[in-house]
Amino acid sequence: MKTQIKNYTKGTCLIIAMCVASLMSSKPLIAQNKDNIAGNSAVQKPWYDLGMMSDPILDQSLLFYLAMTWSGQADIGECLETASRVNSADPDSWAEEWTKTANRLLSAAEEAEKQKHNVSAGEAYLRAATYYSAALHRHNNPKAQIVKDNTLAASKYFQKAMSLLGIPAERVQIPYGNTTLPGYFFHSPKAKGKASVLVVHQGRDGWAMHCKYIADAAISRGYHCLLIDGPGQGEALRLQGLPFRPDWENVITPVVDYLIKQKDVDRDRIGLMGLSMGGALAPRAAAFEKRIKVCVANPGVLSWTDIISGFLGQIDPRLTDLWKSNPEGFNSLIASISSQVPLVDWGIRDMMWKHGAETPAELMVQMQAYSNKDIVSKITCSMLVMDGAADEYSQGHDLYEALAGPKEYMFFEAGDPALQHCQVGAQASSSERLFDWLDKNL
């Protein structure tokens, strides 16, 4: 069922292009960004444009962690106080300040546990885990020791929090090739016999543990929920060195193989949900893994390839095709822009790391495989495409229109607090509408 067609705007996709343009302009970048989103400087800025960080990507990241207060994984004052200490001109400051906050919470958790205050300890461990991961949301050197240390800490203390708080989350290692994929299986105490299960994964930046709010909503309604880090994500990337792969069915099929062996899972009621870039990966998997009964794309993405190409074209039109005709020239142009704009420098290197590419041109070659245009007709399960008026990374309506099977388009319109990318900051209403749909379809 189609509910509404989205009016597309470039929104924050223009941010990095504006960084380049701002080098040639006397108008400050932040002022340009606000004008772009609000329409002009006389219009009040939207609520989600926090404006606390001079770096717009860090500003978006701050909102992502503020939103995790809904699931008890963050606290507003802790996030804002940490952000107030970050020096955006120092590329290491973000990681350092979030790690300091995590360390402080860890000390408080350990003291509370020593005093047998297990609930207080569990709550503090849970927030510490979040802040250890937050520190790595923007880090310039994936080989730095802090990346491994913080990842291990985030995993350890998330698990410790689950135990102390009595949350029915089991740490699992899912067989995958010659290794395993890390995950957390939330068993619903409300489930009777074999029950439905929802598999959830993030996209480019999020981790499995960041989806706890979905698991909370699931188990309270009688669903089991499996949160996973696939290749290119969370622990699988940072501890195992597994980069992204476009054939996501080869990630999800081993997950389904694992699930159908679980005694409390109904093998005929398995759902899959992908968030952010996961809105491109999950539909790809559903096209080939036919044991998936329903698939949720939040947001829907028909071609991640086109999103990346468009993003580069906004920085410099030459970047759209130069990698094909002159790879070295493309690499040189990227290097030139990156030397002037740290945000571009970080963004390109971060993508190369997550995709296992040695050069920007090699990255672009790899990105050509991340399109669902040729396989979308193979999707036969029920699809829910989630979308929002301010989700600048979405191709939700394009994906919805291309689907031939049973489908629904869930649109969060302007004026709805859930209009942002993956409904950040509105996890309550997002989860309610998601599970109301799952109740009817899974």
Residue ranges, the chain, pLDDT below 50? 1-41
> Which residues make beta-bridge pairs with 251?
none
Q: How many domains does the chain have?
A: 2
Position 359 in a domain = no
CATH code of 180's domain:
3.40.50.1820
Position 379 in a domain = yes
262: containing domain: 168-303+370-441
Tell me: the pLDDT tens digits for 419-430? 999 999 999 999
Beta strands per DSSP E along 102-178: 169-176
Question: Are 65 and 196 in a shared domain?
Answer: no
| Residues 315, 344 contacting (CB under 8 angstroms) | yes
Of the residues 116, 134, 152, which one is the last residue of a structural domain? 134
Position 316 in a domain = no
Question: Are 76 and 127 in a shared domain?
Answer: yes
> Which residues make beta-bridge pairs with 184?
171, 227
Helix (H) or strand (E) holding 412: strand 407-412
pLDDT at 91: 87
pLDDT at 311: 87
Question: Are 270 and 130 in a shared domain?
Answer: no
pLDDT at 43: 60
pLDDT at 54: 81
Tell me: the pLDDT tens digits for 295-342? 999 999 999 999 999 989 998 999 999 999 999 999 999 999 999 988
Residues 6+ apart with CB under 8 A from 292: 252, 256, 270, 271, 272, 285, 286, 381
Q: What is the CA radius of gyration of the chain?
A: 21
| Residues 63, 50 contacting (CB under 8 angstroms) | yes
Of the residues 88, 112, 134, which one is the last residue of a structural domain? 134
| Residues 12, 56 contacting (CB under 8 angstroms) | yes
pLDDT at 14: 40
265-275/195-201 β-pairing: parallel
Position 339 in a domain = no
DSSP class of residue 27 equals S
Helix (H) or strand (E) holding 386: strand 382-388
Position 211 in a domain = yes
Cα(400)–Cα(385) distance, integer angstroms: 7
Pair of tokens at residue 158: 């998330």
Residue in this structure with the two tokens 């949350």, named with its chain if needed: 167
Task: Estimate the crossing angle of helix 118-134 against helix 93-114, to 10 degrees.
Answer: 170
DSSP class of residue 233 equals S
Position 76 in a domain = yes
Q: Shortest CA distance to 79 belongs to which of 57, 102, 110, 56?
A: 102
